[in-house]
Amino acid sequence: MNFKDLFEFLETLNNNNSKEWMDQNRSWYEQVKADYVLWLEDLDEELSKVDPDYFSLPGKKAINRINNNLLFHPNKPTYKDHIGAGLDKRPQTGDFYIHLGLEEIFVAGGFYKPKPDFLKSIREAIDYNGDEFKKIINSRSFQKHFGGLMKDEDQLKTAPKGFPQDHKHIDLLRLKSFAAMKMFTPQEVLSADFKAQVIESYQVLLPFRRYLNTAVTV
């Protein structure tokens, strides 16, 4: 995969963010997309070897649209400044997300601002066995790799409905997002071992994602 070409495309697109430019350079985009789809499919195969419960997905279904949704966000540019993809995307669960962009490059997993019934289920799981969840996120490997959970600016200032203020896991119950993210530099993406780093991130994140996925599906 020529990630240098991918970043050059995104930078040029960002400087010429219009349908007219995209129409004139559609072949460039299709080539970048096709190369990335092949890379994702190879990664998909590798991840299926390290996780017996892995949910395989063709690269074309894993990759996200590059168009912004202008119907709901009319003030956004026509096209995104990144290419995102979700792997291990079993229905009704949190996927393993890869974000390659001009401003941010990261892998992530969990639930970012989940819908109310998922959030309720996660909180109920934490109420039932939050010690297990804390053991996962406080583990040496998780802390070293992800530094803890993603910061939740939208968390509650008090206890959610149905939970006491002095609950032993009140710090978690107040959260509205349960996700972890590892940042990468462009140099790391261009390195020969980038795929190996992504696979390592997937493995470290797996117990965290399994806990949350179990919570929303039980």
Separation CA 117–CA 105 (nearest Å): 30
pLDDT tens figures, 59-111: 999 999 999 987 677 888 999 999 999 999 999 999 999 999 999 999 999 99
Between CA 135 and CA 146, with CA 158 as vertex, the angle to 5 degrees is 35
pTM equals 0.93
Q: DSSP secondary-structure letter at 79? A: B
Contact between 173 and 159 under an 8 Å Cβ cutoff? The reply is: yes
Residue 182 backbone phi and psi in degrees, to 5? -120, 125
CA nearest 110: which of 129, 143, 86? 86
**Which residues of the chain fall below pLDDT 70?**
71
Report pLDDT for 65: 94
Report pLDDT for 73: 75
